[in-house]
Chains A and B, each alone.
Chain A
Amino acid sequence: MTLDAAGAVEIAGAVRARRITAEKIAVATVARIAERDPAVNCFTAVTAERALADARRIDAIVASGGDPGPLAGVPFAVKNLFDVQGLTTLAGSTINRERPAAARDAAAVRALARAGAVLVGALNMDEYAFGFTTENTHYGATRNPRDHEHMAGGSSGGSAAAVAAGLVPLALGSDTNGSIRVPAAFCGVFALKPTYGRVSRAGAALFAASFDHVGPFARSTRDLALAFDALQGHDADDPVSIDQPPAPCLPQLDAGPNGLRLAVAGGDFREAGDPAVFAAVDRVAAALGVSRRVTIPETACARAAAMLITASEGANLHLDDLRTRAADFDPNTRDMFLAGAFVPAAAYVQAQRFRTWYRDRLREVFREVDVLITPTTPCAAPRIGEGRRDFGAGEIWLRPHLGVYTRPFSFVGLPALTVPIPRPGDLPLGVQLVAAPFAETSLFRVARRLEADGLVAAPVP
């Protein structure tokens, strides 16, 4: 087993079968991070001692004939907005450095640990999750493992890059407007933004509570499903957690897309992007035999409303610090938070009312369609520092535009899975699969078929 390319299923299988110890995997993972992370800058903390202790505990369970869990000995890392016992939850900021260390792990961290996974560290991100680039002024930019001159995407850039680089097989991130899907597409890995309320956010620093989701990154659909199945479930500690029975995806993974009604999103989802991203969508559609197109109404308003709610809720969360110590914010996020403080309350309420209206329109769409196919991002990973680009209708600010295809779905909490399209000699692209609430299984069935056909993959560079 080549450990940097080994997936979660392979590692857990080997640990459970006593072909390798969890301790040996933890030691090798920590060594690999020490050797390779400086080139990509994913990790802001490595929890080596804890990893060794947890790995030995897993080995003891295996040795005693017990069940160590489906993720036995699988190393994982988390965006540094998740509480990790004994670490200060930075959320990409220096302001939070002054806070005490977390007394307890976040619910999602506990869920993976309960399944036998071994935490090895915390990962870089845009400050307070406000951004799509992980060009963090305080902790440095995370670099795309497939080309270090290019950005990893954000705000969960450390999570996507750590998985893509082969530092860990699994990572956790959060997604408010695209912060799981955008970096996954740029780094060329699989990732899932589950249905809003499906995975607990308890113990994760919020950005915009109306849209904040927690989800996993992996290099295969099987690993992603395994992680999601460990994560999903109701949690009374998260006020938006939905009391819905878990729907395990792994058992359905190889069911194939037969019987699912698939369609490509037209209209806005065919505009304002590089031709290559639309070609990638068309390749996926052709492989699945999809010719149907649907148009989603008022997506421009959905993006506008998502922006207003995000900016307002973000500014509200950080208002005290904006008033008293704005200079301590990352300049890349500070001015956006400050602007959010001036959004008229009537506009915020209108945006929340529009959210209800738009949810009802998407319910109508998903009465006719099971899985919608769109690009994940308007382009492959831009160069670090790139500010503006022309997609055919004049130069625009690139950074907010990176979420143009992801925002309309997190806005109403729909599950979305991004699959990586490798392009030899070029950076990968992401294709986004979107389904009705709680229909993650449908996404996995489609994604797995594409993977089995060789169209999507996440090889370690």
Chain B
Amino acid sequence: MMDEGEVRALAGRLEAMGALIGLAVDPAYRENVAWYLAELLDAADLLTGLPLGEAIEPSPIFRP
């Protein structure tokens, strides 16, 4: 779990991160967006630490 300081630091990086993907986050929203993003990155951390094995594929909807 990110602490308050880390979330604030993440908010500070949102401008640069947004520039990379063409998404400008209004300064008024940044702190709140950073809280949600911190939660998502925690979730990503939890999942990417889980060994799944190469045989496990996503379930695509795509049908040729």
Instruction: Give the nearest-CB partner of B32 in chain A.
Output: A335
Binary flags per residue of B1-44, CB closer than 8 Å to A gives 1, else 0: 00000000000001001100111111001001111110110111
Interface residues on B, range: 20 to 34
Point out residues on A near B: beta carbons under 8 Å. 209-210, 239-240, 298, 300-301, 303-305, 307-308, 311, 319, 322-323, 326-327, 334-336, 338-344, 346-347, 349-357, 359, 400
Partner of A304, one of B14, B21, B34, B47: B47
What CA separation (Å) do A253 and B48 show in the bound complex? 43
Specify which of A209, A307, A308, A350 is in contact with B52 (CB 8 Å cutoff): A350
* B22 & A335 in contact (Cβ 8 Å cutoff): no
Distance, CA A424 to CA B29, complexed state (A)? 43
Q: Tell me the bound Cα distance from A352 to B48 in angstroms.
A: 11
Also in contact, A343 and B40, with CB within 8 A (given A304-B47, A350-B48, A350-B52): yes
A353 touches B24 (CB 8 A): no
Residues from chain A with Cβ under 8 Å of B23 in the complex? 319, 322-323, 338, 341
Q: A341 contacts B21, CB within 8 Å?
A: yes
* B25 adjacent to A338 (CB under 8 Å): yes
Q: By the criterion CB–CB under 8 Å, are A356 and B47 in contact?
A: no
Known A-B contacts A308-B43, A342-B37; A327 and B26 likewise in contact (beta carbons under 8 Å): yes
CB distance from B54 to the nearest CB of A (A): 10
| Contact call B26/A340, Cβ cutoff below 8 A | no
**Contact indicator A339/B26 (Cβ below 8 Å):** no
Dominant SS among interface residues on chain A: helix
A355 touches B40 (CB 8 A): no
Please name all residues of chain B whose beta carbon is closer than 8 Å to the beta carbon of A326 when the two chains form the complex. Answer: 25-26, 29
- Measured in the bound complex, the distance between the Cα atoms of B43 and A351 in whole Å is 9
The 9 A-B residue pairs with the shortest CB-CB distance in the complex, in nearest-first order: A352-B58, A347-B44, A304-B43, A339-B36, A339-B37, A335-B32, A338-B33, A335-B33, A304-B46
**Closest Cβ–Cβ distance, residue A151 to chain B (whole Å):** 20
Contact B40 A339 (CB under 8 A): yes
Contacting A at CB under 8 A, from B42-64, are 42-44, 46-48, 50, 52, 56-59, 61, 63
- Chain A contacts for B17, CB-based, 8 A: 342
The answer to whether B25 and A308 have CB atoms under 8 Å apart is no
> Are B33 and A301 in contact, CB atoms less than 8 angstroms apart?
no
Q: Which of B24, B39, B59 contacts A307 (CB 8 A)?
A: B39
- Cα–Cα, bound, A357→B25 (Å): 35
Closest-by-CB residue of A relative to B28 is A327
Nearest chain A CB to B56 CB, angstrom units = 5
Pick from B34, B44, B57, B59 the residue with the most CB of A within 10 Å.
B44
A210: chain B residues at CB < 8 Å are: 61
Q: Which residue of B lies closest to A310 (CB)?
A: B40
Cβ–Cβ contact B36 & A336, under 8 A: yes
CA–CA, A301 to B43, complex, Å? 8
A356 with B58: in contact, given A304-B46, A326-B29, A338-B29 (CB under 8 Å)?
Answer: yes
Query: Which of chain A's residues have a CB closer than 8 A to the CB of B48?
Result: 346-347, 350
How distant is the Cα of A298 from the Cα of B49 in the complex, in angstroms? Answer: 13
Set of chain A residues within 8 Å of B21, measured between Cβ atoms:
341-342
A359–B61 CA distance with the chains assembled, in angstroms: 15
Q: How far is the CB of A147 from chain B (nearest CB, A)?
A: 29
Expressed in whole angstroms, the minimum distance between the Cβ of A179 and any Cβ of chain B is: 18
Contact partner, B57, options A322, A323, A353, Cβ 8 Å? A353
Q: Tell me how far the C-beta of B1 lies from the nearest C-beta in chain A, rounded to whole angstroms.
A: 11
> Is B57's CB under 8 angstroms from A356's CB?
yes
Shortest distance between the CB of B63 and any CB in chain A (Å): 7
Interchain CB contact under 8 A, A352 and B40: no
Question: How far does the alpha carbon of A178 sit from the alpha carbon of B63 in the complex, in Å?
Answer: 27
A301–B28 Cα distance when bound, in Å, is 32
CA distance A431 to B57 in the complex (A): 33
Give the distance to chain A from B15, nearest Cβ to Cβ, in Å: 12
Considering the chains assembled together, what is the distance between the CA atoms of A359 and B52 in angstroms? 13
Q: Could you list some 16 contacts between A and B, CB below 8 A? A: A209-B61, A210-B61, A298-B50, A300-B46, A305-B43, A305-B47, A307-B39, A307-B43, A308-B44, A326-B25, A342-B14, A342-B37, A342-B40, A355-B58, A356-B59, A400-B39
Within 8 Å CB of A319, what residues of B?
23
- Closest B residue by C-beta to A319: B23
B29 / chain A contacts, CB cutoff of 8 Å: 326, 334-335, 338
Closest to A239 in B: B61
Minimum C-beta distance from A279 to chain B (A): 30
| A339-B43 CB under 8 A given contacts A326-B26, A350-B48 | no
In the complex, how many angstroms separate the beta carbon of B28 from the nearest chain A beta carbon?
Answer: 9
Of the residues A298, A335, A347, A355, contact of B36 by C-beta under 8 Å = A335
| Selected contact of A350 from candidates B18, B25, B35, B47, CB within 8 Å | B47
Residue of B nearest to A342 (CB): B37
Contact between B47 and A347 (Cβ–Cβ < 8 Å)? yes
When A308-B44, A335-B33, A336-B36 are in contact, do A355 and B59 touch as well, CB less than 8 Å? yes
